[in-house]
Amino acid sequence: MGLTGLAGLPPSEFDHKHVLHPYDNPISSGNTFLVKYAEGVHLHLDDGIKLIDAMSSWWSVIHGYNHPKMNAAIKEQVDEFSHVMFGGLTHEPAVDLVRQLLELKAGDFSKVFLADSGSIAVEVAMKMAQQYQYSIGNETKSKFLTIRSGYHGDTWRTMSVCDPDTGMHHLFKGSLPVEYFVNQPPIAFDDEWIDDESLNGVGELRATLEQEQDKVAAVILEPVVQGAGGMYFYHPEYLNQCRALCDEYGALLIFDEIATGFGRTGELFSADFCDIDADIVCLGKALTGGYLTLAATLTTDKVAEGIASREPGVLMHGPTFMGNPLACAAANASLQLLGSQDWRSKVLNIESQLRAELQVALELPNVTKVRALGGIGVIEMKHVVSANQAHSLCKHLGVWLRPFGKCIYTMPPYIINRQQLTKVTHAMIELAERL
């Protein structure tokens, strides 16, 4: 039918009929708000309503919207060039970014792949691990071990390491690779570590790695904070033990820090809560301050030398928009902004305010738990909460919140002030009361 008769539809109506949104019904899509302008922590809608973005646009806009330094960096780069292919060519924005990342990330990291989204960064990490094992003669090590309730992306291989029940495994059963799952680490971040492998989850990890050691290329997990799988915070000691087991059974360790990187947890990276680090780390989301899509996969000389040591000797990945200069310029500006301020105090202040103000939610009959870590605050409900119902209350609350599963949560921009954050916590509590 083409667009005949539709061209004159107002944007919201056209959107409803033709634009597909994330995880939405392709025929009868949910209601969407039309954003006309965004500034600081605020989204300005077409009907004149202003909402505090308590989601930081899916956890990425850490410095807020329309930041003059971020805007200037992108405008400067656009006047030079917006994109060039990365095969055989390079440019200063990419070189500067890799330099900044390697300076920020402690440990043995020395090589960086600039991917075009978080899911792709994870795909690249998994390819690195598999190619490494193949190159050093471990051809059978081509599977991955992960923990339940994790989330690593929506592309094919990343789906295979998302939680098998809450992820999309059942939908794509038969065509997704089958990986190994162990239970979520049972000891929470705030609880005391128990040195008993049958209680702290390490026993199950050890047994699976031991049994499947000929098949497991790498263990992949979100360190300390499991995000989209349920906003659960677990004890960092699990990761120290996991590192030792990976070394014992010849598996690489991949940390997916796409959600946790760049200060969100109160540490620059979640790995900083531990005594160890991974062999491969994925970064994304806040990397560009939420301005443009870019992610990075970092690895060590050991992995790089392994991959290079056997035919074809190259890492088999190369997207068209790899290392996009505009995105690199945004990332460089974002990292400079982060480095030029006391982000840690800001995030830790957010944490203490979230802890204090969300506490009252525990008195509500449908609330089971409340937790906060860094710039993440969560009210966990007894039941699954409808994002669409929450949506319909957002304008009345003046706050943009999009719960998932049983979690009503916030990950606000780091620039949020006390008053604005109080408005967010009140909105979360009101949702917990009403949904």
Nearest CB to ligand PMP, comparing residues 230 and 306: 230
61 touching ligand PMP, by CB under 6 A: no
Given the residues 105, 127, 285, 406, the one annotated as active site: 285
Look up 291 and say whether it is catalytic. Answer: no
Residue 227 burial (CB < 10 Å; 0-12/13-18/19+)? buried
Stretch that binds ligand PMP, among 111-119, 167-175, 322-330, 336-344 (CB under 6 A): 111-119
Q: Indicate the helix (H) or strand (E) that contains 326.
A: helix 325-339
Q: Provide the 3-class DSSP secondary structure of residue 394.
A: helix
151 touching ligand PMP, by CB under 6 A: yes
Please answer whether residues 297 and 121 qualify as being in contact, where contact means their C-beta atoms are separated by less than 8 angstroms. yes
The three-point CA angle 52-56-57 to 5° equals: 105
Stretch that binds ligand PMP, among 252-260, 330-338, 368-376, 389-397 (CB under 6 A): 252-260
Look up 151 and say whether it is catalytic. Answer: yes
230 touching ligand PMP, by CB under 6 A: no
Interacting residue with ligand PMP among 105, 127, 152, 206 (CB under 6 A) = 152
Instruction: Supply the minimum distance, in Å, between the C-beta of residue 22 and ligand PMP.
Output: 9
DSSP letter string, 48-113? S-EEEETTHHHHT-TT-BS-HHHHHHHHHHHTT-S---SSS---HHHHHHHHHHHHHS-SSEEEEE
Stretch that binds ligand PMP, among 116-124, 244-252, 265-273, 314-322 (CB under 6 A): 116-124
Look up 256 and say whether it is catalytic. Answer: yes
Instruction: Supply the minimum distance, in Å, between the C-beta of residue 147 and ligand PMP.
Output: 12
Q: Which of 297, 272, 295, 278 is nearest to 347 (CA)?
A: 272
119 touching ligand PMP, by CB under 6 A: yes
259 touching ligand PMP, by CB under 6 A: yes
Look up 249 and say whether it is catalytic. Answer: no
What is the DSSP pairing of strand 367-373 with strand 376-381? Answer: antiparallel
Instruction: Supply the minimum distance, in Å, between the C-beta of residue 179 and ligand PMP.
Output: 15
Given the residues 53, 116, 163, 256, the one annotated as active site: 256
Tokens 């590192």 locate to 243
Residue 99 has, within 13 A of its CA and on its CB side, a CA count of 9
278 touching ligand PMP, by CB under 6 A: no
* Non-local CB neighbours of 104 within 8 Å, separated by 6+ positions: 268, 335
Nearest CB to ligand PMP, comparing residues 33 and 58: 58
What is the DSSP pairing of strand 232-233 with strand 180-182? Answer: unpaired
Instruction: Supply the minimum distance, in Å, between the C-beta of residue 1 and ligand PMP.
Output: 32
For residue 102, give both structure tokens.
Answer: 């390697």
| Residue nearest ligand PMP by beta-carbon distance | 118
Q: Which residues bind ligand PMP (CB under 6 A)?
A: 117-119, 122, 151-153, 222, 227-228, 256, 258-259, 284
Q: Catalytic amino acids?
A: 23, 151, 256, 285
